[in-house]
Structure 1
Protein backbone atom coordinates (compact mmCIF):
# COMPACT_ATOMS: atom_id res chain seq x y z
CA UNK A 1 0.00 0.00 0.00
CA UNK A 2 2.79 2.40 0.89
CA UNK A 3 4.47 1.63 -2.43
CA UNK A 4 1.26 2.37 -4.33
CA UNK A 5 0.78 5.63 -2.46
CA UNK A 6 4.40 6.60 -3.11
CA UNK A 7 4.09 5.91 -6.85
CA UNK A 8 0.82 7.81 -6.98
CA UNK A 9 2.48 10.77 -5.27
CA UNK A 10 5.28 10.78 -7.82
CA UNK A 11 2.81 10.67 -10.71
CA UNK A 12 0.76 13.45 -9.15
CA UNK A 13 3.85 15.58 -8.57
CA UNK A 14 4.97 15.08 -12.16
CA UNK A 15 1.52 15.96 -13.46
CA UNK A 16 1.36 19.10 -11.35
CA UNK A 17 4.86 20.11 -12.40
CA UNK A 18 3.99 19.68 -16.07
CA UNK A 19 0.77 21.63 -15.59
CA UNK A 20 2.68 24.36 -13.76
CA UNK A 21 5.12 24.73 -16.67
CA UNK A 22 2.42 24.71 -19.33
CA UNK A 23 0.34 27.21 -17.40
CA UNK A 24 3.01 29.90 -17.55
CA UNK A 25 4.92 28.90 -20.68
CA UNK A 26 5.13 31.40 -23.52
CA UNK A 27 3.07 30.22 -26.49
CA UNK A 28 4.79 29.79 -29.90
CA UNK A 29 2.28 32.18 -31.47
CA UNK A 30 2.27 34.69 -28.61
CA UNK A 31 2.32 38.40 -29.39
CA UNK A 32 5.86 38.68 -28.04
CA UNK A 33 7.24 35.91 -30.23
CA UNK A 34 5.40 37.14 -33.31
CA UNK A 35 6.78 40.65 -32.77
CA UNK A 36 10.30 39.29 -32.37
CA UNK A 37 9.92 37.40 -35.64
CA UNK A 38 9.26 40.73 -37.36
CA UNK A 39 12.54 42.25 -36.16
CA UNK A 40 14.84 42.80 -39.13
CA UNK A 41 17.47 45.18 -37.73
CA UNK A 42 18.51 45.50 -34.12
CA UNK A 43 21.40 46.63 -31.94
CA UNK A 44 22.74 46.40 -28.42
CA UNK A 45 24.20 49.50 -26.69
CA UNK A 46 25.34 49.07 -23.09
CA UNK A 47 28.13 51.57 -22.43
CA UNK A 48 26.31 54.69 -23.52
CA UNK A 49 27.98 58.11 -23.36
CA UNK A 50 25.59 60.92 -24.25
CA UNK A 51 28.46 63.37 -24.74
CA UNK A 52 30.10 61.20 -27.39
CA UNK A 53 26.97 59.74 -28.87
CA UNK A 54 23.88 61.98 -28.98
CA UNK A 55 21.13 59.72 -30.21
CA UNK A 56 19.75 60.82 -33.57
CA UNK A 57 16.18 60.01 -34.60
CA UNK A 58 17.04 59.49 -38.25
CA UNK A 59 19.65 56.92 -37.26
CA UNK A 60 17.34 55.02 -34.95
CA UNK A 61 14.38 54.74 -37.30
CA UNK A 62 15.89 51.87 -39.27
CA UNK A 63 16.05 49.61 -36.21
CA UNK A 64 13.17 47.49 -34.92
CA UNK A 65 14.70 46.48 -31.58
CA UNK A 66 17.24 47.94 -29.17
CA UNK A 67 18.91 46.28 -26.18
CA UNK A 68 19.96 49.00 -23.74
CA UNK A 69 21.38 49.54 -20.28
CA UNK A 70 18.31 50.73 -18.33
CA UNK A 71 20.33 53.09 -16.14
CA UNK A 72 22.37 54.75 -18.90
CA UNK A 73 20.56 54.90 -22.22
CA UNK A 74 19.17 57.31 -24.82
CA UNK A 75 15.73 58.81 -24.26
CA UNK A 76 13.41 56.59 -26.26
CA UNK A 77 9.99 57.61 -24.90
CA UNK A 78 8.87 58.89 -28.32
CA UNK A 79 9.44 55.51 -29.94
CA UNK A 80 7.84 53.01 -27.56
CA UNK A 81 4.81 52.34 -29.78
CA UNK A 82 6.95 51.46 -32.78
CA UNK A 83 9.99 49.66 -31.40
CA UNK A 84 10.94 46.89 -29.02
CA UNK A 85 13.10 48.07 -26.13
CA UNK A 86 14.92 45.43 -24.12
CA UNK A 87 16.64 46.27 -20.83
CA UNK A 88 19.88 44.56 -19.87
CA UNK A 89 19.57 42.68 -16.56
CA UNK A 90 22.39 40.65 -15.06
CA UNK A 91 20.91 37.59 -13.33
CA UNK A 92 24.16 35.91 -12.31
CA UNK A 93 26.27 38.93 -11.40
CA UNK A 94 25.77 42.05 -9.31
CA UNK A 95 27.22 45.31 -10.57
CA UNK A 96 28.78 47.79 -8.17
CA UNK A 97 27.49 50.75 -10.20
CA UNK A 98 23.81 49.82 -9.79
CA UNK A 99 21.43 51.47 -7.29
CA UNK A 100 21.04 48.24 -5.29
CA UNK A 101 24.78 47.73 -4.67
CA UNK A 102 25.02 49.57 -1.35
CA UNK A 103 22.66 47.23 0.44
CA UNK A 104 24.00 43.93 -0.93
CA UNK A 105 27.77 44.39 -1.25
CA UNK A 106 28.50 42.68 2.08
CA UNK A 107 26.08 39.79 1.63
CA UNK A 108 27.58 36.31 1.71
CA UNK A 109 25.90 35.42 -1.58
CA UNK A 110 27.86 38.15 -3.37
CA UNK A 111 30.99 36.31 -4.48
CA UNK A 112 34.25 37.28 -6.17
CA UNK A 113 34.72 39.80 -8.95
CA UNK A 114 34.58 38.63 -12.56
CA UNK A 115 38.21 38.90 -13.78
CA UNK A 116 37.10 39.79 -17.31
CA UNK A 117 34.61 42.49 -16.31
CA UNK A 118 35.55 44.85 -13.52
CA UNK A 119 32.86 45.92 -11.03
CA UNK A 120 30.86 42.79 -11.81
CA UNK A 121 30.57 40.25 -8.99
CA UNK A 122 29.34 36.68 -9.27
CA UNK A 123 26.11 35.94 -7.42
CA UNK A 124 25.02 32.71 -5.77
CA UNK A 125 21.67 32.30 -7.57
CA UNK A 126 20.26 30.26 -4.70
CA UNK A 127 19.81 33.48 -2.75
CA UNK A 128 16.15 34.33 -2.22
CA UNK A 129 17.18 37.91 -1.42
CA UNK A 130 18.65 38.27 -4.91
CA UNK A 131 15.47 36.89 -6.46
CA UNK A 132 13.41 39.47 -4.58
CA UNK A 133 15.68 42.31 -5.74
CA UNK A 134 15.28 41.28 -9.38
CA UNK A 135 11.53 40.72 -9.22
CA UNK A 136 10.48 43.49 -6.85
CA UNK A 137 13.02 46.23 -7.56
CA UNK A 138 14.98 45.90 -10.79
CA UNK A 139 12.18 44.86 -13.14
CA UNK A 140 9.52 47.30 -11.82
CA UNK A 141 12.01 50.14 -12.27
CA UNK A 142 12.69 48.97 -15.83
CA UNK A 143 9.00 48.89 -16.69
CA UNK A 144 8.53 52.41 -15.36
CA UNK A 145 11.17 53.59 -17.83
CA UNK A 146 9.15 52.27 -20.75
CA UNK A 147 10.96 49.04 -21.63
CA UNK A 148 9.04 46.16 -23.22
CA UNK A 149 11.29 43.40 -21.98
CA UNK A 150 14.57 42.23 -20.49
CA UNK A 151 17.75 40.51 -21.61
CA UNK A 152 18.71 37.87 -19.05
CA UNK A 153 22.49 38.06 -18.94
CA UNK A 154 25.04 36.01 -16.96
CA UNK A 155 22.64 33.12 -16.39
CA UNK A 156 25.62 30.87 -17.15
CA UNK A 157 27.12 31.84 -13.78
CA UNK A 158 25.09 29.03 -12.22
CA UNK A 159 26.72 26.32 -14.32
CA UNK A 160 30.16 27.82 -13.78
CA UNK A 161 29.75 27.72 -10.00
CA UNK A 162 28.56 24.12 -9.98
CA UNK A 163 31.42 23.03 -12.23
CA UNK A 164 33.94 24.72 -9.93
CA UNK A 165 32.60 23.24 -6.69
CA UNK A 166 29.55 21.01 -6.94
CA UNK A 167 29.41 20.41 -3.20
CA UNK A 168 29.45 24.09 -2.31
CA UNK A 169 27.15 25.28 -5.08
CA UNK A 170 24.92 22.26 -5.63
CA UNK A 171 21.53 23.40 -6.90
CA UNK A 172 22.76 26.65 -8.46
CA UNK A 173 21.52 25.72 -11.94
CA UNK A 174 18.15 24.64 -10.58
CA UNK A 175 17.91 27.93 -8.69
CA UNK A 176 18.64 29.93 -11.85
CA UNK A 177 15.95 28.03 -13.74
CA UNK A 178 13.51 28.70 -10.91
CA UNK A 179 14.42 32.40 -10.96
CA UNK A 180 13.63 32.67 -14.67
CA UNK A 181 10.37 30.82 -14.09
CA UNK A 182 9.48 33.13 -11.19
CA UNK A 183 10.03 36.20 -13.36
CA UNK A 184 7.76 34.77 -16.07
CA UNK A 185 5.10 33.96 -13.49
CA UNK A 186 5.22 37.49 -12.07
CA UNK A 187 5.40 39.24 -15.45
CA UNK A 188 3.52 37.15 -18.04
CA UNK A 189 3.55 39.90 -20.70
CA UNK A 190 7.24 40.81 -20.37
CA UNK A 191 9.45 40.02 -23.37
CA UNK A 192 12.24 37.80 -22.05
CA UNK A 193 15.41 37.16 -24.07
CA UNK A 194 18.03 34.91 -22.52
CA UNK A 195 21.72 35.48 -23.23
CA UNK A 196 23.97 32.42 -23.51
CA UNK A 197 23.47 30.03 -20.56
CA UNK A 198 23.58 26.92 -22.75
CA UNK A 199 23.53 24.50 -19.83
CA UNK A 200 20.03 25.55 -18.82
CA UNK A 201 18.53 26.80 -22.10
CA UNK A 202 16.34 23.76 -22.63
CA UNK A 203 14.96 24.13 -19.10
CA UNK A 204 14.15 27.83 -19.41
CA UNK A 205 13.03 27.73 -23.05
CA UNK A 206 9.32 27.40 -22.14
CA UNK A 207 9.49 30.64 -20.16
CA UNK A 208 11.37 32.89 -22.59
CA UNK A 209 10.45 34.53 -25.89
CA UNK A 210 13.78 34.44 -27.69
CA UNK A 211 17.50 33.80 -27.44
CA UNK A 212 20.48 36.11 -27.60
CA UNK A 213 23.78 34.34 -28.08
CA UNK A 214 27.31 35.70 -28.26
CA UNK A 215 30.37 34.42 -30.09
CA UNK A 216 29.06 32.27 -32.91
CA UNK A 217 31.87 33.16 -35.32
CA UNK A 218 34.09 35.80 -33.69
CA UNK A 219 34.76 36.73 -30.07
CA UNK A 220 36.94 39.00 -27.91
CA UNK A 221 40.38 37.66 -27.08
CA UNK A 222 40.54 38.46 -23.37
CA UNK A 223 44.01 36.95 -22.97
CA UNK A 224 45.89 38.62 -25.80
CA UNK A 225 43.61 41.51 -26.67
CA UNK A 226 41.75 42.05 -29.91
CA UNK A 227 39.47 39.43 -31.41
CA UNK A 228 39.68 35.82 -32.51
CA UNK A 229 37.69 33.10 -34.25
CA UNK A 230 35.46 30.90 -32.14
CA UNK A 231 36.81 27.35 -31.88
CA UNK A 232 35.00 25.08 -34.33
CA UNK A 233 33.92 22.61 -31.62
CA UNK A 234 32.40 25.40 -29.53
CA UNK A 235 30.70 26.89 -32.57
CA UNK A 236 29.22 23.55 -33.63
CA UNK A 237 27.96 22.88 -30.10
CA UNK A 238 26.22 26.25 -29.89
CA UNK A 239 24.65 25.91 -33.32
CA UNK A 240 23.37 22.42 -32.51
CA UNK A 241 21.73 23.58 -29.28
CA UNK A 242 20.25 26.71 -30.83
CA UNK A 243 18.86 24.98 -33.91
CA UNK A 244 17.26 22.37 -31.69
CA UNK A 245 15.59 25.04 -29.55
CA UNK A 246 14.46 26.92 -32.65
CA UNK A 247 12.77 23.81 -34.00
CA UNK A 248 11.26 22.63 -30.73
CA UNK A 249 10.17 25.91 -29.15
CA UNK A 250 9.93 28.19 -32.20
CA UNK A 251 12.33 30.69 -30.63
CA UNK A 252 14.05 33.52 -32.50
CA UNK A 253 17.84 33.65 -32.17
CA UNK A 254 19.68 36.99 -32.10
CA UNK A 255 23.40 36.43 -32.57
CA UNK A 256 26.17 38.83 -31.52
CA UNK A 257 29.64 38.46 -32.97
CA UNK A 258 32.56 40.67 -31.90
CA UNK A 259 35.01 41.96 -34.48
CA UNK A 260 37.08 45.07 -35.24
CA UNK A 261 35.02 47.86 -36.74
CA UNK A 262 37.26 48.26 -39.79
CA UNK A 263 37.30 44.58 -40.80
CA UNK A 264 34.57 44.65 -43.41
CA UNK A 265 35.25 41.16 -44.76
CA UNK A 266 35.10 39.60 -41.30
CA UNK A 267 31.84 41.43 -40.60
CA UNK A 268 30.40 40.27 -43.91
CA UNK A 269 31.38 36.67 -43.17
CA UNK A 270 29.79 36.79 -39.70
CA UNK A 271 26.54 38.28 -40.98
CA UNK A 272 26.30 35.87 -43.91
CA UNK A 273 27.00 32.77 -41.82
CA UNK A 274 24.46 33.73 -39.14
CA UNK A 275 21.74 34.46 -41.67
CA UNK A 276 22.27 31.08 -43.32
CA UNK A 277 21.66 29.48 -39.94
CA UNK A 278 18.42 31.40 -39.47
CA UNK A 279 19.91 33.70 -36.82
CA UNK A 280 19.39 37.47 -36.72
CA UNK A 281 22.97 38.85 -36.64
CA UNK A 282 24.63 41.88 -35.10
CA UNK A 283 28.38 42.54 -35.18
CA UNK A 284 30.04 45.00 -32.79
CA UNK A 285 33.22 45.74 -30.89
CA UNK A 286 33.35 44.22 -27.43
CA UNK A 287 32.66 47.34 -25.35
CA UNK A 288 29.25 47.81 -27.00
CA UNK A 289 29.59 51.57 -26.58
CA UNK A 290 28.28 52.58 -30.00
CA UNK A 291 25.71 51.53 -32.57
CA UNK A 292 27.26 49.69 -35.49
CA UNK A 293 25.81 49.52 -38.97
CA UNK A 294 26.27 46.01 -40.33
CA UNK A 295 25.52 46.74 -43.98
CA UNK A 296 28.01 44.68 -45.89
CA UNK A 297 27.23 44.98 -49.59
CA UNK A 298 29.98 46.57 -51.68
CA UNK A 299 27.80 49.26 -53.18
CA UNK A 300 27.05 50.79 -49.79
CA UNK A 301 30.59 50.66 -48.42
CA UNK A 302 31.61 54.02 -49.83
CA UNK A 303 28.43 55.66 -48.56
CA UNK A 304 29.07 54.32 -45.09
CA UNK A 305 32.61 55.63 -45.02
CA UNK A 306 31.67 59.08 -46.30
CA UNK A 307 28.67 59.37 -43.98
CA UNK A 308 30.60 58.84 -40.76
CA UNK A 309 29.91 61.26 -37.95
CA UNK A 310 31.42 61.44 -34.52
CA UNK A 311 28.11 60.64 -32.85
CA UNK A 312 27.41 57.50 -34.87
CA UNK A 313 29.93 54.75 -35.37
CA UNK A 314 29.58 52.45 -38.30
CA UNK A 315 30.85 48.93 -38.26
Structure 2
Protein backbone atom coordinates (compact mmCIF):
# COMPACT_ATOMS: atom_id res chain seq x y z
CA UNK A 1 0.00 0.00 0.00
CA UNK A 2 2.85 2.37 0.89
CA UNK A 3 4.68 1.69 -2.38
CA UNK A 4 1.47 2.12 -4.38
CA UNK A 5 0.89 5.56 -2.84
CA UNK A 6 4.49 6.57 -3.56
CA UNK A 7 4.16 5.46 -7.17
CA UNK A 8 0.90 7.38 -7.51
CA UNK A 9 2.49 10.57 -6.18
CA UNK A 10 5.44 10.27 -8.57
CA UNK A 11 3.12 9.53 -11.49
CA UNK A 12 0.86 12.50 -10.73
CA UNK A 13 3.84 14.82 -10.29
CA UNK A 14 5.28 13.76 -13.63
CA UNK A 15 1.93 14.39 -15.29
CA UNK A 16 1.82 17.92 -13.90
CA UNK A 17 5.40 18.65 -14.93
CA UNK A 18 4.81 17.24 -18.38
CA UNK A 19 1.69 19.37 -18.78
CA UNK A 20 3.51 22.51 -17.73
CA UNK A 21 6.44 21.72 -20.01
CA UNK A 22 4.12 21.26 -22.97
CA UNK A 23 2.35 24.51 -22.14
CA UNK A 24 5.50 26.55 -21.73
CA UNK A 25 7.01 25.07 -24.89
CA UNK A 26 4.28 26.87 -26.81
CA UNK A 27 5.04 30.11 -24.97
CA UNK A 28 1.78 30.31 -23.03
CA UNK A 29 1.72 29.90 -19.25
CA UNK A 30 -1.65 29.07 -17.70
CA UNK A 31 -2.93 31.59 -15.15
CA UNK A 32 -3.04 29.03 -12.36
CA UNK A 33 0.69 28.38 -12.80
CA UNK A 34 1.55 32.06 -12.39
CA UNK A 35 -0.31 33.28 -9.32
CA UNK A 36 -2.86 32.27 -6.71
CA UNK A 37 -6.41 33.57 -6.88
CA UNK A 38 -6.72 36.80 -4.86
CA UNK A 39 -9.94 38.46 -6.03
CA UNK A 40 -12.58 38.18 -8.73
CA UNK A 41 -15.54 40.15 -10.10
CA UNK A 42 -18.77 38.95 -11.68
CA UNK A 43 -20.48 41.42 -14.01
CA UNK A 44 -23.27 40.38 -16.38
CA UNK A 45 -24.42 43.82 -17.52
CA UNK A 46 -24.05 45.49 -20.89
CA UNK A 47 -21.13 47.77 -21.77
CA UNK A 48 -18.67 46.61 -19.08
CA UNK A 49 -16.61 49.35 -17.45
CA UNK A 50 -13.24 47.90 -18.41
CA UNK A 51 -11.21 50.35 -16.33
CA UNK A 52 -13.11 49.45 -13.15
CA UNK A 53 -12.96 45.73 -13.93
CA UNK A 54 -9.20 45.95 -14.35
CA UNK A 55 -8.92 46.51 -10.60
CA UNK A 56 -9.67 42.81 -10.25
CA UNK A 57 -7.36 39.90 -10.93
CA UNK A 58 -10.17 37.95 -12.62
CA UNK A 59 -13.36 39.28 -14.22
CA UNK A 60 -16.29 37.07 -15.22
CA UNK A 61 -18.41 38.70 -17.93
CA UNK A 62 -21.55 38.00 -19.91
CA UNK A 63 -20.02 37.27 -23.34
CA UNK A 64 -22.96 38.81 -25.22
CA UNK A 65 -22.11 42.19 -23.70
CA UNK A 66 -20.09 43.14 -26.79
CA UNK A 67 -16.77 43.32 -24.97
CA UNK A 68 -13.86 41.73 -26.86
CA UNK A 69 -10.99 40.79 -24.51
CA UNK A 70 -8.52 40.56 -27.37
CA UNK A 71 -8.88 44.33 -27.83
CA UNK A 72 -8.12 45.13 -24.19
CA UNK A 73 -4.69 46.60 -23.64
CA UNK A 74 -4.36 45.60 -20.00
CA UNK A 75 -3.00 42.08 -19.64
CA UNK A 76 -3.13 41.85 -15.85
CA UNK A 77 -6.83 41.03 -15.65
CA UNK A 78 -7.85 37.53 -16.68
CA UNK A 79 -11.10 37.78 -18.67
CA UNK A 80 -13.51 34.90 -18.00
CA UNK A 81 -16.66 34.23 -20.02
CA UNK A 82 -19.88 33.15 -18.35
CA UNK A 83 -21.22 30.02 -20.07
CA UNK A 84 -24.32 28.03 -19.21
CA UNK A 85 -23.77 24.29 -19.59
CA UNK A 86 -27.01 22.82 -18.30
CA UNK A 87 -29.40 25.32 -19.89
CA UNK A 88 -29.66 27.54 -22.95
CA UNK A 89 -31.66 30.73 -23.50
CA UNK A 90 -33.33 31.40 -26.83
CA UNK A 91 -31.28 34.60 -27.13
CA UNK A 92 -28.03 32.69 -27.59
CA UNK A 93 -26.64 32.57 -31.12
CA UNK A 94 -26.27 28.79 -31.04
CA UNK A 95 -29.78 28.11 -29.72
CA UNK A 96 -31.34 27.30 -33.10
CA UNK A 97 -28.55 24.83 -33.93
CA UNK A 98 -29.30 22.62 -30.92
CA UNK A 99 -31.29 19.51 -31.93
CA UNK A 100 -34.77 19.62 -30.40
CA UNK A 101 -34.29 16.11 -29.05
CA UNK A 102 -31.58 17.45 -26.72
CA UNK A 103 -34.05 19.75 -24.94
CA UNK A 104 -35.53 17.81 -22.03
CA UNK A 105 -37.12 20.49 -19.87
CA UNK A 106 -37.77 24.14 -19.14
CA UNK A 107 -36.60 26.40 -16.31
CA UNK A 108 -39.53 28.75 -15.81
CA UNK A 109 -37.68 30.94 -13.30
CA UNK A 110 -34.95 31.89 -15.79
CA UNK A 111 -36.92 31.26 -19.02
CA UNK A 112 -34.40 28.80 -20.44
CA UNK A 113 -34.31 25.26 -21.81
CA UNK A 114 -32.69 22.36 -19.97
CA UNK A 115 -30.28 20.34 -22.10
CA UNK A 116 -29.80 16.56 -22.01
CA UNK A 117 -26.20 16.23 -20.82
CA UNK A 118 -26.12 12.57 -21.85
CA UNK A 119 -26.69 13.37 -25.55
CA UNK A 120 -23.66 11.84 -27.35
CA UNK A 121 -22.96 14.90 -29.50
CA UNK A 122 -23.36 17.51 -26.78
CA UNK A 123 -19.70 17.85 -25.59
CA UNK A 124 -18.37 18.44 -29.11
CA UNK A 125 -21.24 20.79 -29.94
CA UNK A 126 -20.63 22.79 -26.79
CA UNK A 127 -16.89 23.16 -27.40
CA UNK A 128 -17.30 23.99 -31.10
CA UNK A 129 -20.25 26.36 -30.83
CA UNK A 130 -19.94 27.93 -27.38
CA UNK A 131 -16.37 27.76 -26.11
CA UNK A 132 -14.27 28.04 -29.28
CA UNK A 133 -15.86 31.30 -30.52
CA UNK A 134 -15.26 32.90 -27.11
CA UNK A 135 -11.67 31.72 -27.05
CA UNK A 136 -11.23 33.35 -30.46
CA UNK A 137 -12.49 36.64 -28.98
CA UNK A 138 -9.78 36.52 -26.36
CA UNK A 139 -11.45 34.95 -23.35
CA UNK A 140 -8.94 32.73 -21.59
CA UNK A 141 -11.23 31.25 -18.99
CA UNK A 142 -14.80 30.07 -18.55
CA UNK A 143 -17.25 30.15 -15.65
CA UNK A 144 -19.39 27.04 -16.03
CA UNK A 145 -22.89 27.61 -14.68
CA UNK A 146 -26.15 25.60 -14.40
CA UNK A 147 -24.29 22.36 -13.69
CA UNK A 148 -27.17 21.05 -11.61
CA UNK A 149 -30.05 21.92 -13.96
CA UNK A 150 -30.55 18.29 -14.88
CA UNK A 151 -31.97 17.84 -11.38
CA UNK A 152 -35.05 19.77 -12.54
CA UNK A 153 -35.91 17.02 -14.99
CA UNK A 154 -34.38 13.62 -14.26
CA UNK A 155 -36.23 11.23 -12.00
CA UNK A 156 -34.10 8.12 -11.50
CA UNK A 157 -30.62 7.50 -10.10
CA UNK A 158 -29.61 6.04 -13.45
CA UNK A 159 -30.63 9.23 -15.26
CA UNK A 160 -28.74 11.34 -12.73
CA UNK A 161 -25.62 9.26 -13.23
CA UNK A 162 -25.87 9.58 -17.01
CA UNK A 163 -26.27 13.35 -16.66
CA UNK A 164 -23.22 13.57 -14.40
CA UNK A 165 -21.15 11.55 -16.86
CA UNK A 166 -22.28 13.90 -19.62
CA UNK A 167 -21.21 16.96 -17.64
CA UNK A 168 -17.83 15.36 -16.95
CA UNK A 169 -17.47 14.74 -20.69
CA UNK A 170 -18.21 18.41 -21.44
CA UNK A 171 -15.65 19.69 -18.91
CA UNK A 172 -12.98 17.29 -20.12
CA UNK A 173 -13.70 18.21 -23.74
CA UNK A 174 -13.12 21.88 -22.93
CA UNK A 175 -9.92 21.10 -21.08
CA UNK A 176 -8.57 18.91 -23.89
CA UNK A 177 -9.27 21.54 -26.53
CA UNK A 178 -8.04 24.48 -24.42
CA UNK A 179 -5.67 23.08 -21.78
CA UNK A 180 -4.52 26.52 -20.58
CA UNK A 181 -8.06 27.84 -20.05
CA UNK A 182 -9.07 28.74 -16.51
CA UNK A 183 -12.18 26.67 -15.73
CA UNK A 184 -14.30 27.68 -12.73
CA UNK A 185 -17.29 25.58 -11.75
CA UNK A 186 -20.42 27.01 -10.15
CA UNK A 187 -21.00 24.27 -7.61
CA UNK A 188 -20.77 20.93 -9.40
CA UNK A 189 -19.49 19.40 -6.16
CA UNK A 190 -20.51 15.90 -7.26
CA UNK A 191 -18.34 16.23 -10.38
CA UNK A 192 -15.10 16.96 -8.56
CA UNK A 193 -13.91 13.35 -8.12
CA UNK A 194 -13.72 13.13 -11.91
CA UNK A 195 -12.70 16.66 -12.97
CA UNK A 196 -10.69 18.25 -10.14
CA UNK A 197 -7.50 18.01 -12.21
CA UNK A 198 -9.17 19.85 -15.10
CA UNK A 199 -10.39 22.93 -13.25
CA UNK A 200 -8.93 25.97 -11.54
CA UNK A 201 -11.50 26.81 -8.86
CA UNK A 202 -15.00 26.18 -7.55
CA UNK A 203 -17.58 28.88 -6.88
CA UNK A 204 -20.94 28.82 -5.17
CA UNK A 205 -23.67 31.33 -4.40
CA UNK A 206 -25.46 32.56 -1.31
CA UNK A 207 -23.43 31.78 1.77
CA UNK A 208 -24.80 34.59 3.96
CA UNK A 209 -26.83 36.81 1.64
CA UNK A 210 -28.84 35.50 -1.32
CA UNK A 211 -31.13 36.62 -4.11
CA UNK A 212 -34.53 35.12 -4.97
CA UNK A 213 -35.18 35.56 -8.69
CA UNK A 214 -38.69 34.15 -8.30
CA UNK A 215 -39.61 36.74 -5.66
CA UNK A 216 -37.33 39.53 -6.85
CA UNK A 217 -35.83 40.19 -3.43
CA UNK A 218 -32.73 39.74 -1.29
CA UNK A 219 -32.77 37.06 1.38
CA UNK A 220 -30.79 35.95 4.41
CA UNK A 221 -29.47 32.43 3.94
CA UNK A 222 -30.75 29.97 6.59
CA UNK A 223 -28.04 28.60 8.86
CA UNK A 224 -28.78 24.97 7.96
CA UNK A 225 -28.14 25.71 4.28
CA UNK A 226 -24.86 27.37 5.23
CA UNK A 227 -23.77 24.34 7.25
CA UNK A 228 -24.29 22.09 4.21
CA UNK A 229 -22.41 24.49 1.93
CA UNK A 230 -19.45 24.81 4.27
CA UNK A 231 -19.20 21.02 4.47
CA UNK A 232 -18.89 20.94 0.67
CA UNK A 233 -16.35 23.75 0.78
CA UNK A 234 -14.25 21.91 3.33
CA UNK A 235 -14.13 18.91 1.00
CA UNK A 236 -13.04 21.09 -1.92
CA UNK A 237 -10.26 22.83 -0.01
CA UNK A 238 -8.91 19.86 1.97
CA UNK A 239 -9.30 16.99 -0.49
CA UNK A 240 -8.80 18.75 -3.81
CA UNK A 241 -6.79 21.83 -2.71
CA UNK A 242 -8.79 24.11 -5.01
CA UNK A 243 -9.60 27.80 -4.42
CA UNK A 244 -13.22 28.45 -3.48
CA UNK A 245 -15.18 31.57 -4.43
CA UNK A 246 -18.30 32.65 -2.51
CA UNK A 247 -20.73 34.89 -4.42
CA UNK A 248 -23.25 36.68 -2.22
CA UNK A 249 -25.84 39.37 -2.96
CA UNK A 250 -26.63 42.74 -1.39
CA UNK A 251 -28.56 45.77 -2.67
CA UNK A 252 -26.02 47.87 -4.62
CA UNK A 253 -26.81 50.98 -2.57
CA UNK A 254 -26.15 49.13 0.71
CA UNK A 255 -22.35 49.26 0.82
CA UNK A 256 -22.32 48.35 4.50
CA UNK A 257 -24.03 45.05 3.68
CA UNK A 258 -21.40 44.42 1.00
CA UNK A 259 -18.50 45.30 3.29
CA UNK A 260 -19.78 43.14 6.14
CA UNK A 261 -20.46 40.18 3.85
CA UNK A 262 -17.06 40.42 2.15
CA UNK A 263 -15.46 40.46 5.59
CA UNK A 264 -17.45 37.45 6.82
CA UNK A 265 -16.58 35.43 3.72
CA UNK A 266 -12.91 36.44 3.91
CA UNK A 267 -12.73 35.32 7.53
CA UNK A 268 -13.52 31.81 6.28
CA UNK A 269 -10.52 31.96 3.92
CA UNK A 270 -12.76 32.04 0.86
CA UNK A 271 -12.54 34.43 -2.09
CA UNK A 272 -15.56 36.78 -1.82
CA UNK A 273 -17.58 38.71 -4.32
CA UNK A 274 -20.76 40.53 -3.31
CA UNK A 275 -22.90 41.93 -6.11
CA UNK A 276 -26.48 42.90 -6.81
CA UNK A 277 -29.07 40.19 -7.44
CA UNK A 278 -28.59 40.05 -11.21
CA UNK A 279 -24.94 41.15 -11.25
CA UNK A 280 -25.73 44.23 -13.31
CA UNK A 281 -23.58 46.61 -11.26
CA UNK A 282 -19.94 46.28 -10.28
CA UNK A 283 -19.14 46.14 -6.58
CA UNK A 284 -16.44 48.58 -5.40
CA UNK A 285 -15.55 46.26 -2.50
CA UNK A 286 -12.36 44.34 -3.35
CA UNK A 287 -10.53 41.85 -1.19
CA UNK A 288 -6.83 42.67 -1.55
213, 236, 256: which is aligned to 2:247? Answer: 256
150, 155, 171: which is aligned to 2:147? Answer: 155
1:130 alignment partner in structure 2: 122
Q: Secondary structure at the match of 2:264?
A: helix
Cα deviation for residue 129 of structure 1 reads: 2.5
User: Number of residues paired by the alignment?
Assistant: 267
CA distance in 1, matches of 2:147, 2:188: 5
Whether contact under 8 Å (1:214, 1:257) holds in the other structure is: yes
Q: Structure 1 residues 173 and 221 mapped into 2: Cα distance closer, same or farther (>3 Å)?
A: same
61, 78, 84: which is aligned to 1:90? Answer: 84
Whether contact under 8 Å (2:211, 2:219) holds in the other structure is: yes
CA distance in 1, matches of 2:108, 2:205: 18
List structure 1 segments (4+ residues) > 4 angstroms apart after TM superposition: 22-27, 167-170
30, 42, 54: which is aligned to 1:44? Answer: 42
Q: 1:107-161: CA deviations, max 9, x gaps?
A: 112122212112x211110012221221122111011111111111111124444
Whether contact under 8 Å (2:151, 2:160) holds in the other structure is: no
CA distance in 2, matches of 1:212, 1:268: 19
Whether contact under 8 Å (2:245, 2:270) holds in the other structure is: yes
Whether contact under 8 Å (1:161, 1:172) holds in the other structure is: no
1:286 aligns with 2:277: yes
2:94 alignment partner in structure 1: 100
Q: Structure 1 residues 24 and 159 mapped into 2: Cα distance closer, same or farther (>3 Å)?
A: farther
CA distance in 2, matches of 1:38, 1:207: 16
2:7 alignment partner in structure 1: none
Q: Which stretch shows the higher mean deviation, 248-257 or 90-99?
A: 248-257
**Greater gyration radius:** 1
167, 170, 174: which is aligned to 1:179? Answer: 170
Alignment RMSD: 2.8
1:111 aligns with 2:104: yes
1:235 alignment partner in structure 2: 226
CA distance in 2, matches of 1:173, 1:75: 32
Aligned 1:1-315 pairs, distance under 5 A: 31-35=30-34, 37-40=36-39, 42-48=40-46, 50=47, 55=49, 57=51, 59-76=52-69, 77-79=71-73, 81-104=75-98, 107-118=100-111, 120-162=112-154, 164-166=155-157, 170-294=161-285
CA distance in 2, matches of 1:189, 1:197: 21
Q: Secondary structure at the match of 1:262?
A: coil
Q: 1:24-45: CA deviations, max 9, x gaps?
A: 8988xx84324461433x2111
TM-score (norm 2): 0.82
Q: Secondary structure at the match of 1:108?
A: helix
TM-score (norm 1): 0.75
User: Which segments of 5 or more consecutive residues in structure 1 lack a partner in the other structure?
Assistant: 1-18, 297-315
CA distance in 2, matches of 1:36, 1:154: 27
CA distance in 2, matches of 1:62, 1:185: 31
